Amino acid sequence: MVPNQNGAAATESPSVPARSLVARCESGFGKLVDALNGAGSLLIFAVMVLVGCDVLGRALFGTPIYGVAELVALSVVAIVFLQLGSALRHQRMTRADLFLESFMRRRPRAGLILSALFNLAGVGVCIAMALATGPLLVQAWSHGQYIGVEGLFKAETWPVRLIVIVGSSVAGIQYLLLAWADMRACARTTTSSE
């Protein structure tokens, strides 16, 4: 028994099913995706402040901040991969839906299968990105690779390579969840039409 707001004992309704393991995992994964998106937004803010300070430094004191161009270049890549999963999850990823939407209206089951295949292709692309970046991460870590000019400014590249692997892995999982949702909807469409 769980006390309600008035302090009285209340029981959980037997008609409300317990959340399945899949739903709980998907909810936890959603929190991870949104946390990465938040980190990307904070990085955007930091880049804006850095560029603003560089512009002010050049205008007021005639002195730039060393490494701004390098940090912005690294940050753009990091921001894209930090926010990629969220763009997919919240359906903000750019894609040409002109064909798919009209096709789904005419043939919903075939449209859902086509959408699932598109999402599975996205899984493949994300796996390829993560696998291709893995050796680059090891090389950047072991050799201490950096960008910049020795003595003025240098930034190691391994954190961005790690973000690429994490971001593409998260996006791949999100594509897989979208494909799974399409296939479930396809199964429901099949059973409801029978």
**DSSP string over 24-55:** HHHHHHHHHHHHHHHHHHHHHHHHHHHHHHHH
Least confident of 44-58, 61-75, 99-113, 146-160: 99-113
Task: Select from 4, 15, 29, 7 the least CA-distant residue to 180.
Answer: 29
Tell me: the pLDDT tens digits for 33-48? 999 999 999 999 999 9
Give 113's contacts (C-beta < 8 A, 6+ positions apart): 182, 183, 186
CA quadruple 92, 93, 94, 97: dihedral, nearest 10: -80
Quickly count: other Cβ atoms within 10 Å of residue 182's Cβ.
20
Encoding tokens for residue 161? Answer: 């390579």
Mean pLDDT of the chain: 85
Tell me: the pLDDT tens digits for 45-87? 999 999 999 999 999 988 888 989 999 999 999 999 999 999 9
Q: Which residues pair with 18 in a beta bridge?
A: none
